[in-house]
Amino acid sequence: MNRAQTGQRGEAAAAKFYLDRGCRLLTHNFHTRMGELDVVVQEPDGTIVICEVKTRAEGSLTTPSEAVNRAKQRRLIRAAEAYLQRTGLSDAPVRFDVAEVKPLDSGRWMVHIIRGAFLA
């Protein structure tokens, strides 16, 4: 499995994590000139969750969330603003999560969600 495939499967695992908890998938891989939003879901209470998915192979020297530095956070916030304006969801409460996703030997995926990883 190459890097792109690993990333796509990691994003699918993160989306499934939210769907299994009653969220509704609004979009994935939403592209703007400011950046890309990996997974956007709406929780049953109406909160919009913008989730940055970081997938790493077992044995990686850094944790996935370490890749979401301040500059990356600013790009995600700007991309989220564009998405929310474009979809008419600007008034909804928003939360930014980071999903750390790792493949397991069993072929399954370990998904760890950092809720409210950063603020807009």
Cα 120 to Cα 110: distance, rounded to the nearest angstrom: 27
Q: Is the pTM of this model over 0.85?
A: yes
H or E stretch at 74: helix 70-87
Tell whether the model's pLDDT for residue 110 goes beyond 80.
Answer: yes
Domains of the chain: 3-118 (3.40.1350.10)
pLDDT at 104: 86
Residues 17-55: tens digit of each pLDDT: 999 999 999 999 999 998 999 999 999 999 999 999 998
Confidence bin at 58 (pLDDT 50/70/90): low
Cα 92 to Cα 69: distance, rounded to the nearest angstrom: 25
Confidence bin at 59 (pLDDT 50/70/90): low
Instruction: Name 104's Cβ contacts closer than 8 Å, sequence gap at least 6.
Output: 58, 110
Confidence bin at 66 (pLDDT 50/70/90): confident
Residue 120, CA distances (Å) to 18, 54, 64, 75, 80 in order: 21, 19, 20, 11, 9
